[in-house]
Amino acid sequence: MTAGLFDTHAHLHFPDFADDLPDVLARARGAGVTRMVTIGTDVETSRAAIAIAEREPDVWATVGVHPHDAANADDAVLDEIERLAASPRVVGIGEIGLDYFRNLSPREDQARVFSRLLAVARRIGKPAVIHSRDAHEDTLALLDSERVRDVGGIMHCFSGDREIARRCLDLGLLISLAGPVTYPNARALPDVARFVPGDRLVVETDCPFLPPQPYRGKRNEPAYVTITAARVADLRGEPFESLTARMSENATTLFRI
């Protein structure tokens, strides 16, 4: 029996899972996934994430406003996120960050919401779950000025290179690898998987998005985090069991589970 895998970033409360969530959770448990965190992206999905976490003993929640939704996040929204963040089933603030790939919200709004919710993370003492796409410089600068070191956090679905990884590690963050590390065109990710120290590495699905290689084009789900973890173990030349145990410990320590 292993210590179990930890899917540090799932969206179990998204409509994609509305029809068969019990089956999805059963497959995850059957595959050895013993802990999952379901990630809010706005007020509504943050509430839904907490509702699942209150029902399922092996699921925890985060609350946050995704950069895509930043334009609509006025003070009332951000106050509500802070209120929800106090729930005992909430283990982090996120996802929050900057996304200059799709730019669905103006950059000023993204930065405003990101800073404000990093301050919430500091106030309540819970770690940040950070989304950064094509925005590494600005993301790292904000994380530094908002003192993410005080609470820690995860750079989720890491998409940078070794140099960006090093700068995230310097800020005290964990690096989370997702399905793309299994892709043939994974670019810098295999190098990153080998570079990050074992006590700073975690894995995730980001389901329903970004399934690992064998399931590309289909819906992703937490059971598939085993494929990503196996690929990372392979790249590092480490036994699967010891690596997954260590990654689970990293996540449980950060989230204080």
**Residue ranges binding Zn ion (CB under 5 A):** 95, 131, 206
The C-alpha atoms of residue 257 and residue 249 are separated, in whole angstroms, by 10
Taking the complex as a whole, the smallest distance from the CB of residue 204 to Zn ion amounts, in Å, to 8
CA-based nearest residue to 191, from 161, 158, 233, 159: 161
Contact between 63 and 84 (Cβ < 8 Å)? yes
Q: How far is CA 2 from CA 6, 29, 179, 242, 244, in A?
A: 11, 12, 22, 9, 8
Taking the complex as a whole, the smallest distance from the CB of residue 86 to Zn ion amounts, in Å, to 22
Taking the complex as a whole, the smallest distance from the CB of residue 209 to Zn ion amounts, in Å, to 7
Contact between 132 and 97 (Cβ < 8 Å)? yes
When the beta carbons of 38 and 226 are compared against Zn ion, the nearer one is 38
When the beta carbons of 126 and 233 are compared against Zn ion, the nearer one is 126
When the beta carbons of 110 and 233 are compared against Zn ion, the nearer one is 110
Taking the complex as a whole, the smallest distance from the CB of residue 33 to Zn ion amounts, in Å, to 17
When the beta carbons of 67 and 152 are compared against Zn ion, the nearer one is 67
CB closest to Zn ion, residue no: 131
The C-alpha atoms of residue 178 and residue 62 are separated, in whole angstroms, by 18
CA-based nearest residue to 53, from 81, 27, 96, 85: 85
Q: How many other C-beta atoms are found inside a 10 Å radius of the C-beta of residue 197? A: 9
When the beta carbons of 206 and 221 are compared against Zn ion, the nearer one is 206
Taking the complex as a whole, the smallest distance from the CB of residue 221 to Zn ion amounts, in Å, to 14
Taking the complex as a whole, the smallest distance from the CB of residue 70 to Zn ion amounts, in Å, to 13
Amino acid found at 55:
R
When the beta carbons of 39 and 233 are compared against Zn ion, the nearer one is 39
